[in-house]
Structure 1
Amino acid sequence: MSLWVRNVQSLLNIFLKSNCPLCQRPTDQEVCQNCTQQLQRCCLPNPSVLWHQPLPVFAWGSYGGTLKLAIAAMKYKNHPEIARPLGQYLGNTWLSNSPARNTKCIVVPIPLHPNKQKKRGFNQAALIAQSFCETTGLQLKVNGLERVEETEAQYNLSVSEREKNLFKAFRIGQDFHHTLKAPVLLIDDIYTTGATAKSATQTLNDFGIGVLGTVAAALTYNQNNPSYNLDKNHT
């Protein structure tokens, strides 16, 4: 590479740099190297800790610390670019650790209601799913499900209230006009109580579509569920 080309490339790198959405340091990546290292410390020691019936769950990280900040910045501070590394982390972990990594399946993101998606500008689950599928090679059906009920925020609701809130919240989307031979793998940014996954699974099952399980970028700690055997250093 000539000196002139290297100089031009260096100038381009300077002008193309932006600030890290988490710490505001200059970076040419979605998240700076320092915050990337902190994010990777949020990785769960056992991502398939909840991979069992009736709703198998596979998650990359524990919802806390830098991962919680990253998801909040993505959703509420207009940083959709954060979805790309989260999808990559989840995809690479699926390829190396999932008990179902050799199963052919179709990936379907949990949809937002059109009003909420219009306000936010994007569906974070769909962006994570796109990056996840680019990493794993799995087929993506962005419009496999549609959200027909504009439900209230889930974070202040109990488990029973969440299930009632999400009752018949979904319907089959335009990507599915007939039943499938391959099962669906649902994908979301955060897995908390399973109410969303349960409602989405029921909608797909009613249409004759099987669900392999749910994958999520983050898993919340629930002290009432003994299966959540998370390393406290990651919470």
Structure 2
Amino acid sequence: MPTWKHSFNNFLNLFLQSDCPLCQRPTPGEFCPYCIKQLQNCQHKNPAALWGQPIPVFGWGMYGGIVKRAIAVMKYENQPQIARPLGQWLGEAWLLSKVSKSPQTPPLVVPIPLHPQKQKTRGYNQAALIAESFCQTTGLKLQVNGLKRVQETEAQFGLSASEREANLAEAFAVGEELRRRRLNVPVLLVDDIYTTGATTRSAVKILNQHGITVLGLVAVTTSVKDKYAKSI
């Protein structure tokens, strides 16, 4: 390559690069190579370890450390672009797993929604952005407004298991598009974090009430007991 072209490309890259949202190193992507390595080290060896009844859960990584920070930065520091690699890694893990080949009919992907007021304040729903990237990777169809949040619930953090269930008891409703169509494929829910399962159970309950089958939930991270962490 001629020297002037090489110099021009280096000059151009200075303007194309931004700071990594986790460590502030210059990077052309969402994360710098150092943080990508740290994040990918948090991936479960067996993301499908929780894929079973009553609600199957597929989790890409363990909720904690740098992954926990990445999700917090994405949600609370106006960094929606973080959802793209997280959704991509989740999708790649899904495609490599046996559970992705279990349904005879490919599922319809539906993200867990935010209440409209909270989404207006934040500017985006991180679960929807993760689901979009997940679908771009897997080729599955996305129904962004399959569910809607009809109750503005208080934060789940710090609540007991029974308080979480009560907090989300009537939180969701089926979106208009799903109500109008006769859905003959299962739904695959997407969220950023799976903890006690209260959110997922509430979403599954309302979908089932409308005759919609739920295949399970895929989440970027899962918060699980130590015995599960040791088994993966």
Bin of the TM-score, shorter chain as denominator length: over 0.9
Quote how far apart the aligned CAs of 1:6 are: 3.6
What's the CA shift for 1:67? 0.4
Which one-letter code corresponds to 1:129 in the other structure?
A: A
TM-score normalised to the size of structure 2?
Answer: 0.94
* Cα distance in 2 for residues equivalent to 1:10 and 1:170: 50
Long gaps (5+) in structure 2:
none
Task: Tell me what 1:230 maps to.
Answer: 229
Distance between the aligned counterparts of 1:100 and 1:52, measured in 2?
13
In structure 1, distance between residues paired with 2:182 and 2:163: 31
Match of 1:187 in 2: 190
User: What's the counterpart of residue 173 of structure 1?
Assistant: 175
**Secondary structure at 2:72 match in 1:** helix
Question: Counterpart of 2:38 in structure 1: which amino acid?
Answer: Q
State the partner residue of 1:45.
45
User: Secondary structure of 1:229's partner?
Assistant: helix
For residues 69-120 of structure 1, give each alpha carbon's deviation from its aligned partner in whole angstroms, at most 9, with x where no partner exists: 1001101111111100100110000000141335300000000000000111
Cα root mean square deviation, aligned: 1.6
Which of residues 99, 122, 125 in structure 2 aligns to 1:123? Answer: 125
Deviates more, 1:83-92 or 1:101-110: 101-110
- Displacement of 1:55 in angstroms is 0.3
What amino acid maps onto 1:106 in structure 2?
L
**Paired residue for 1:77?**
77
Contact 1:94 1:101 in 2 (8 A): no
- How far residue 3 of structure 1 moved from its aligned partner, in angstroms, is 4.6
Shift of 1:156: 0.8
Q: 1:53 to 1:47 in 2, by over 3 A?
A: same
The 2-side partners of 1:17 and 1:221 are apart by 36
Secondary structure at the residue paired with 1:154?
Answer: coil
Paired residue secondary structure (1:49): coil
| Mapping for residues 144-163 of structure 1, pairs under 5 Å | 144-163=146-165
Does residue 204 (structure 1) correspond to residue 203 (structure 2)? The answer is no
Q: Give, in angstroms, the shift of residue 222 of structure 1.
A: 3.2
Fraction of identical pairs, as percent: 57
Moved over 2 A (4+): 1-10, 100-103
Q: 1:58 touches 1:98 (CA, 8 Å); kept in 2?
A: no
* 1:175–1:5 distance in 2 versus 1, CA, 3 Å: farther
Report the counterpart of residue 114 of structure 2 in structure 1: 112
Please identify, of 168-177 and 69-78, the stretch whose mean Cα deviation from structure 2 is larger.
168-177
The match for 1:216 among 203, 219, 230 is 219
2:185 partner amino acid: A
| Corresponding residue number in structure 2 for 1:92 | 92
CA contact (8 A) 1:45 1:231 kept: no
Separation in structure 2 between the aligned mates of residue 62 and residue 231 of structure 1, nearest angstrom: 12
